[in-house]
């Protein structure tokens, strides 16, 4: 077989543990552990850090975050199970069939003519509402933000 190019549309998801016991309570301060396999300078991590600062400010410091990036706590393939088991409370996650996302994988099929990133997010959320089987694949975590990503990676055996 000649060179195969896979262009995939992925979903980047912040996931949160459904287990309230994973919270670390320090008096009146709740500390959440955030894990990302991305480095600290990655745009998704920078966006998360900004969101955490706003949340900390809006709660007058009652909510705080322990931030571990670069795969220091959970590697990319460990994120979903790590959230389910309480290793981290919040993480960035890309859908992976190895974690049981068979039905949700439909949104990653190549060459789907999504009208825009924003519309793709809305379509995906409607699919989750319409098909409970898809929502059940998220068992053990709570998702609260989706961001479709364009197919911007082409992997090759030889340099261009």
Pick the more confident residue, 147 or 13.
147
pLDDT in tens, 101-151: 999 988 888 888 888 889 999 999 999 999 999 999 999 999 888 888 766
The pTM is what? 0.74
pLDDT at 11 over 50: no
51 versus 3: the higher-pLDDT residue is 51
Distances (CA, A) of 100 to 49, 114, 130, 138: 29, 24, 19, 9
Specify the fold of 10-149: D-Maltodextrin-Binding Protein; domain 2 (3.40.190)
The sign one gets for the Cα dihedral 130, 132, 134, 139 is positive
Q: CA triplet 143, 148, 150: central angle to 5 degrees?
A: 155
What's the pLDDT score for residue 122?
A: 94
Q: Is 45's pLDDT higher than 90?
A: yes
Boundaries of every domain in the chain: 10-149
Length of the chain: 160
């Amino acid at each position: 077989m000649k060179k195969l190019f896979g262009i995939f549309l992925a979903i980047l998801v912040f996931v949160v543990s459904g287990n309230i016991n994973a919270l670390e309570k320090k008096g009146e301060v709740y500390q959440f552990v955030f894990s990302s396999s991305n480095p600290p300078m990655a745009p998704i991590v920078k966006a998360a850090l900004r969101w955490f600062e706003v949340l900390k400010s809006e709660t007058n410091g009652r909510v705080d975050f322990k931030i571990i990036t670069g795969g220091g706590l959970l590697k990319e393939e460990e994120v979903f199970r790590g959230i389910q088991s309480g290793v981290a409370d919040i993480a960035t996650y890309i859908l992976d069939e190895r974690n049981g996302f068979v039905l949700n994988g439909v949104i990653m099929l190549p060459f789907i003519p999504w009208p825009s990133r924003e519309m793709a997010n809305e379509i995906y959320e409607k699919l989750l509402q319409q098909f409970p089987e898809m929502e059940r694949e998220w068992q053990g975590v709570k998702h609260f933000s989706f961001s479709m990503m364009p197919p911007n990676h082409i992997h090759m055996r030889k340099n261009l």
